[in-house]
Amino acid sequence: MNNNKRLLLQSALALAAAATFSSGAMAQDKPIKVGVTGGPHAQIFEQVKKVAEKDGLKIQIVEFSDYVQPNAALAAGDLDANSYQHKPYLDAQVADRGYKLVSVGYTVNFPIGLYSKKVKKLEDLKEGAKFGIPNDPTNGGRVLLVLQDKGLIKLRDGAGLKATPLDVVSNPKKLKFVELDAAQLPRSLDDLDASAINTNFALSAGLNPGKDAIAQENAKSPYVNLIAVREADKDKPWVAKLVKAYHSEEIKKFIQTEFKGSVLPGF
């Protein structure tokens, strides 16, 4: 190879390397998109965003008003991560829809609350009372397990986390279960005798779980929330930075101070 050809080859390789470096730098400058639901998840991630930026990770928060779209958007590549769901819900979505999504770290626990504008105690519910529950399989089953724990109903053996009203084998008060989208339950309280409301939607509706709930789920439950990413991304450096930022002392203190026990750190 003569000198001229050698110089041309070296120049081409140098340009290619520079282009690769430039592309990598641009990719790192692009913020990762994290999907959250309104309320505590969004509030907490505003703080996570600040902590992560100190470590060189930029975050763009994308807010959703339901539980279905954040996983669909993540699977489609419109998000890089989401933070809004517990593992039973993620497992159900993966099984039902074939999503290649995985958990990379736990976040917070929201003990679900039972609310009513008509009675002060569960035992005061009248026969045939209309009781609202979320219409997604895992949260609906979660509420039925709470009602069983409180002695209002009995589920068939083995119903587990995916229990539905069809699994109720004993219902002394003949409760009528009204299945609605979780986000609609706070707005439907006037039309129901009582309702289970996920804590993030309760807080968004101005309900204080500690004061307004007539009963609450036991805090020791399998429903700790998590950060999910696509399986192909789970070992990428930005994922480790994201989880590190969420699991920082700053975020733990923010959760404890801001929510005063209605939202609990799960890490």
Instruction: Supply the pTM of this predicted model.
Output: 0.69
Model pLDDT, residue 25: 36
CATH code, residues 31-110+223-265 = 3.40.190.10
Question: b vs e for 175-184, b when ≥16 Cβ sit within 10 Å of the residue's Cβ?
Answer: bebbebebbe
Question: What is d(CA 34, CA 23) in angstroms, rounded to the nearest whole number?
Answer: 22
- Please state which architecture CATH assigns to domain 113-216: 3-Layer(aba) Sandwich (3.40)
Range(s) within the chain of domains with CATH label 3.40.190.10: 31-110+223-265, 113-216
Phi, psi (rounded to 5 degrees) for 223: -105, 40
Closest CA to 93 of 37, 138, 58: 138
pLDDT of 22 strictly over 60: no
Model pLDDT, residue 14: 45
Model pLDDT, residue 28: 52
pLDDT of 154 strictly over 90: yes
Average pLDDT over residues 101-116: 94
Task: Compute and round to an integer the Cα radius of gyration of the chain.
Answer: 23
Question: What is d(CA 77, CA 143) in angstroms, rounded to the nearest whole number?
Answer: 32
The model's confidence at residue 256, banded by pLDDT at 50, 70 and 90, is very high
Question: What is d(CA 51, CA 222) in angstroms, rounded to the nearest whole number?
Answer: 28
Question: b vs e for 20-42, b when ≥16 Cβ sit within 10 Å of the residue's Cβ?
Answer: eeeeeeeeeeeebbbbbbbbbbb
> How does the average pLDDT of the chain come out, rounded?
89
